[in-house]
Amino acid sequence: MNADSTPPRVEKDARERGWRTFVQGLGLDVAAGVVTALVAGTVTGIEWTRLYWVALGLAVAKSATQGAISYFARKIIPPSAGA
């Protein structure tokens, strides 16, 4: 057992879940960024501005937060018996 009494199996599963959730969210953020960049590059009158970068940064921060919440939720709340 490690210092916080979490079994190593739970710790590993929590890490994997957190990482997987982060990567899935990041993939969606990158796809949204690419679509936004393509639209801004092809449609006249739309420019790639600082606001787009801020929105993309907030989306990535959301994914990181979501991954961290997934990690801690798995460590604290065990999965249901059917999982």
Does 2 map to a domain?
no
Does 33 reside within a domain? yes
**Structural domain total, the chain:** 1
Q: Confirm whether 81 is domain-assigned.
A: no
DSSP characters for 17-67? HHHHHHHHHHHHHHHHHHHHHHHHHHSTT----HHHHHHHHHHHHHHHHHH
Please give the average per-residue pLDDT across 64-80, as a whole number: 86
| Domain span holding position 26 | 8-76
- Is 71 inside any structural domain? yes
Q: Is the pLDDT of residue 1 over 60?
A: no
**Tens digit of pLDDT for each residue in 15-57?**
888 899 989 988 988 898 888 888 878 888 877 788 888 988 8
Helix 50-76, helix 8-42: angle, nearest 10: 160
In this prediction, residue 4 carries a pLDDT of: 56
Does the residue 83 lie in any domain?
Answer: no
Task: Judge whether 3 lies within some domain.
Answer: no
Residue corresponding to tokens 């899935």:
24
